[in-house]
Structure 1
Amino acid sequence: MESTKLKVERINQAQTTITKRKIEVPQYVWSVLTLIGLGLLWQMLTVLLNIPSYILPSPLAIVTKFITEFSMIFSHSLTTLSEVLLGFGLSLLVGIPLAISIVYSRYLATSFYPILIAIQCIPMVSVAPILVIWFGYGLATKVLLASLISFFPIVINSVVGFRSLDSDMHDLGRSIGISEWKIFYYLRLPNALPHLFGGFKVGITLAVVGAIVGEFVASERGLGYLQLTANNRLDTVMVFATLLALALVGMLLFFAVHVVERLVMPWYNSTKAERG
């Protein structure tokens, strides 16, 4: 009887172990498979419905165009990438200190914060012609547009993050004689990092939008300029190839911010893994 019970227990333990050792498919695999499926469906519809390429080109034609014109697309992509990085860097340089000032200054929190929200409600497309008048058709206009459009999520997320420190923790630090600077460095900043990187991820993608808006208005280089010229020539395939390049640039920048986040906050990502 005892041997039978032991065998049953061992079988149950083996089944439990097999259940726990499920093959976990990485999340990006599902994204890739979904993208491939949508591409195949798109290709099938363009062939079956006989859609002209000047209206909706097939994915195969877009990828072929992207490969054959890769050197030109890559050259324009570097121009757009430099504008995005400069604009995003400028928004960080101004946005983070401003968020800290809003957290520590009651005057800025009550007076400047609502003005910031009102400015964000203004479409950047309507601001672009004014920037062209002020700064011309050079690099400055595109950098400023990329900075302005990515500025708001960085400031808002930073303010929320810096304010998220528990008041009891702050009071405890002050009661034992810790300076406000040390409280910020050792408590407030680490606590705010998840919010900061959330704003950075949104901001870096919006910076791409700002740079393209600037190139639409005033530019002789960049993916936005390339898309405009292709549209004027009714080269729809090139328009879609440019969109593909923009998507790749945006994904690359988002992934770069994600990598930096994992390096800066390994403790946060490990905690999420344990929960999930």
Structure 2
Amino acid sequence: MKRQTADTLRRVAYPTVGIVLMLALWEAICVIGKLPTAVLPTPGQVFGSLVNNWAVLMSEGWITLKATLYGFALALLLGIPLAVAVSTFRWVNLMFYPLLVALQSVPKVALAPLLLVWLGTGMESKLAIAWLVAFFPVLVDTAAGLQATPKELLELARSLRASRWQVFAKVRFPAALPFVVTGAKVAVTLAVIGAVIGEFVGSSEGLGFLLLSATSQINTPLAFAALFALSILGMVTYFFVVLAEKAIASWLPPPPPAH
């Protein structure tokens, strides 16, 4: 019990000390270097901008959050079934996987103007970019998990004359769930980036647009406040995925024994 309490305190204390040291170094750089606010505001100025623009940040953050969650959900809904098809049917793998890799290699910023032409400047284009950015990690990790199913489990299922569907539902997919969760953790943070890219390129709302507007108006404290709000948004979405992982913990295979 004492060891657990000490571990918890360390996990809280070390990040806190790190944040305090970073803020102190930031303040020292601004004061000693006599940097103008337009170049680098002090932590106090950023905090003041956060307080003064709290309502705006919440409103614009909600718009970015919706685009992030929609894109992430679409990445899961399309990425997992396609990963199942790619890992199950060799002809699907040969036909579509190289195309998916080629699509992933294209910078999403380069695709953003085309998506704006096709879908307009509303939620649809931001959702599409968030989906494109988040889709590939879900696909790759899920496919890797399905292909990494222990051979002993597959042989056991076949010896029990399990059908192909039973093997998938009872063996392959449960064994791949840790990979799916890992891909989802990566995808949800990338979805935030995708939503912001959409707001940068062509939007009149959202934290990305607020950041761009603050930068163009040389309101650097507000720009840093928007960046801070984006980091909070990313952590919140990641936390929800972690909660989902704990909710399905009973379905996950046990970790390998320590040697």
TM-score range normalised by the length of the shorter chain: over 0.9
State the match for 1:212 in structure 2.
196
The aligned counterpart of 2:171 is: 187
1:28 is displaced (CA, Å) by: 4.3
- Aligned partners of 1:266 and 1:172: how far apart in 2? 21
Aligned to 1:166: 150
More deviation in 111-120 or 143-152? 111-120
After TM superposition, give the deviation of residue 167 of structure 1 in Å: 2.2
The answer to whether the aligner puts 1:29 opposite 2:13 as a matched pair is yes
The answer to whether 1:75 aligns with 2:63 is no
Give 1:31 deviation, angstroms: 2.0
Unpaired stretches in structure 2, ≥5 consecutive residues: none
Query: TM-score scaled to structure 1, two decimals?
Result: 0.88
Q: Deviations over 1:66-102 (max 9, x none)?
A: 1111001100000000000011111111101000001
- 82, 102, 127: which one aligns with 1:98: 82
Alignment of 1:110 onto 2:59: no
Aligned to 1:265: 249
Taking the aligned partners of 1:86 and 1:141, their CA distance within structure 2 comes to 11
Q: Cα deviation per residue 1:188-245 (whole Å; 9 max; x = unaligned)?
A: 1221111111100000000000000000111111001111111111111111110000
- 1:125-159: CA deviation from partner (whole Å, max 9, x where unpaired): 00000011111111100000000000000100000
Q: Distance in 1 between matches of 2:221 and 2:239?
A: 27
Aligned to 2:119: 135
Q: Is the 1:262–1:269 contact (alpha carbons within 8 Å) kept by the matching residues of 2?
A: no
Query: Which of 221, 235, 255 lines up with 2:219 in the alignment?
Result: 235
- Quote the Cα distance in structure 2 between the aligned partners of 1:269 and 1:213: 37
Counterpart secondary structure, 1:23: helix
Q: Secondary structure at the match of 1:216?
A: helix
CA contact (8 A) 2:138 2:183 kept: yes
Among candidates 37, 41, 63, match of residue 57 of structure 1:
41
Asked if the contact 2:174/2:253 (under 8 Å) is kept, the reply is: no
Q: Distance in 2 between matches of 1:107 and 1:216?
A: 39
Give the 3 Å change call, closer, same or farther, for CA 45–120 of structure 1 in structure 2: same
Contact 2:71 2:191 (C-alpha < 8 Å) held by counterparts: yes
What is the root-mean-square deviation in Å for CA atoms of aligned residues? 2.2
Output the TM-score relative to the length of structure 2.
Answer: 0.93
Question: Identity across aligned pairs (percent)?
Answer: 33
Which residue does 1:10 correspond to in 2?
Answer: none
Unaligned runs of 5+ in 1: 1-16
Matches of 2:230 and 2:4, distance apart in 1: 40
Q: How many residues align?
A: 258
Question: 2:31 matched to which residue of 1?
Answer: 47
* Runs of 4+ in structure 1 over 4 Å off: 266-272
Worse-superposed segment, 34-43 or 75-84 = 34-43
Segment drifting more, 188-197 vs 143-152: 188-197
Deviates more, 1:233-242 or 1:25-34: 25-34
